């Protein structure tokens, strides 16, 4: 496809096409990757103005090197996401008929993925932090308590609707978690403690300033500015509560999710169920959240040994007594019915099958016993 448009125009036009089906956050990621790459080209290779001029070396390799040398340094995950977005854009343009060199971005260009470790709070830190949040008892503290009790993401907590608490059965309640990182809603079971936290948030919401309520109609957590501003207030509120509680290290909202996941496993929740509670689509991600301590191993090991020491009784099947059954007797007037004898004749004695029958052990009169050569005589 020959076109007189510049690199900027072509990429922006395609990103607008993607925006018709993708989520806004995803579109922003594609646009950010394109702008970073174009900014590098304008600085290092201002003469490159067409897609057909792009080469792996030096244009793409030079950009990869600039990402590694950026200050402050980018983490491997951020660099990998930038490469994924740009590769998708270039592949789409190639599929649409634009002239591009092959293999501009290869698998070996991606940095190794980070090795995530579960980061739950220690039992002492977790208890002290929850006690401090209950003592504080304001909207931010109760929102953080709700995050810890349900394992939802902090962004999902900010987006909870006013009627998020739903009754799903007799004496069964659940928290309707809105769209998060996955484009699906989910229901998280709500026990009396969770329902009490929601009720406390509603009570504090009722006495919030009118300016907050005017901007947050329909939302559980009121805010006066933007929802991003509310999200930014929860992080320092958690950090300050952790300091007051005397936690041994810094505490972030995501560590509350890790603490929830590890606690659920210790309570006996299976990994598939925990995956649904956390809103994951891959159980491998769930495993990153769960911390199995030596105490957990000892408990599981000794419980398994105790179960193995107990004798397992095999079920016994009762065999019915059939001695009372006797062979049936028939009166003399009843005669057994003999099967009707059917005679057969060959219909292919002169065919090629005759020769096969002559050399076969299974033959009658030189004809194969195949059912294709025999029909019942009238």
184-214 pLDDT, tens digit each? 789 999 999 999 999 999 999 999 888 778 7
Q: Provide the token pair at 117.
A: 């470790």
CB atoms < 10 A from the CB of 360, how many? 14
pLDDT, tens only, 279-297: 988 888 888 888 776 777 7
Domain count, the chain: 3
Q: Which residues pair with 375 in a beta bridge?
A: 345
Do residue 358 and residue 265 come from a single domain?
no
In a domain, 313, yes or no: no
Of 79, 153, 186, 205, catalytic: 153
Q: How far is CA 180 from the centre of its chain?
A: 12
Q: What is the pLDDT of residue 88?
A: 95
Establish whether 280 is a catalytic residue.
yes
**CB of 3 closer than 8 Å to CB of 100:** no
Q: What is the pLDDT of residue 323?
A: 62
**CB of 21 closer than 8 Å to CB of 65:** no
Establish whether 257 is a catalytic residue.
yes
Of 59, 79, 257, 258, catalytic: 257
Of 181, 182, 240, 281, catalytic: 181
198: left (phi over 0), alpha (psi -120 to 50) or beta: alpha
Residue range(s) defining the domain that contains residue 354: 347-376
Distance CA 304, CA 239 (A): 40
Distance CA 163, CA 306 (A): 47
Q: What is the pLDDT of residue 330?
A: 60
Do residue 64 and residue 131 come from a single domain?
no
Q: What is the pLDDT of residue 314?
A: 65
Do residue 282 and residue 135 come from a single domain?
yes
Do residue 63 and residue 187 come from a single domain?
no
Establish whether 254 is a catalytic residue.
yes
Domain boundary among 278, 301, 324: 301
Of 16, 23, 35, 254, catalytic: 254
Do residue 267 and residue 142 come from a single domain?
yes
Domain boundary among 301, 332, 363: 301
Over residues 173-193, mean pLDDT? 84
**CB of 181 closer than 8 Å to CB of 153:** yes
Distance CA 277, CA 177 (A): 10
């Amino acid at each position: 496809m020959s076109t007189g448009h510049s690199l900027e125009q072509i990429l922006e036009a395609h990103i607008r096409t993607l925006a018709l089906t993708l989520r806004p956050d995803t579109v922003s990621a594609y646009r950010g990757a394109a702008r970073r790459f174009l900014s590098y080209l304008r600085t290092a290779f201002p003469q490159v103005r067409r897609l057909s001029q792009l080469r792996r070396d030096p244009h793409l390799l030079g950009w990869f090197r600039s990402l590694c040398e950026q200050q402050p340094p980018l983490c491997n995950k951020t660099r990998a996401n930038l490469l994924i977005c740009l590769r998708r854009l270039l592949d789409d343009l190639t599929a649409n008929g634009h002239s591009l060199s092959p293999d501009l971005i290869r698998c070996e260009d991606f940095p190794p993925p980070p090795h995530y470790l579960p980061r739950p709070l220690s039992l002492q830190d977790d208890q002290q932090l929850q006690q401090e949040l209950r003592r504080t008892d304001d909207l931010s503290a109760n929102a953080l308590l709700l995050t810890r009790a349900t394992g939802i993401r902090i962004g999902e907590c900010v987006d909870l609707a006013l009627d998020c608490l739903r009754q799903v059965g007799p004496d069964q309640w659940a928290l309707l978690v809105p769209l998060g990182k996955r484009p699906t809603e989910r229901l998280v079971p709500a026990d009396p403690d969770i329902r009490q936290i929601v009720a406390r948030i509603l009570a504090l919401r009722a006495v919030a300033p009118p300016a907050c309520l005017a901007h947050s109609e329909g939302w559980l957590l009121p805010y006066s500015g933007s929802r991003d501003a509310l999200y930014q207030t929860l992080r320092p509120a958690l950090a300050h509560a952790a300091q007051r509680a005397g936690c041994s290290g810094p505490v972030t909202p995501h560590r509350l999710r890790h603490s929830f996941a590890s606690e659920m496993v210790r309570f006996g929740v299976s990994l598939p169920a925990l995956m649904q509670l956390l809103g994951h689509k891959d159980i491998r991600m769930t495993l990153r959240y769960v911390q199995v301590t030596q105490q957990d191993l000892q408990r599981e090991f000794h419980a398994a040994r105790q179960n193995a020491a107990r004798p397992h009784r095999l079920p016994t099947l009762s065999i019915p007594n059939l001695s009372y059954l006797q062979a049936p007797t028939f009166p003399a007037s009843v005669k057994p019915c003999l099967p009707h004898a059917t005679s057969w004749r060959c219909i292919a004695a002169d065919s090629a099958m005759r020769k096969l029958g002559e050399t076969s052990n299974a033959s009658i009169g030189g004809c194969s016993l195949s059912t294709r050569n025999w029909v019942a005589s009238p």
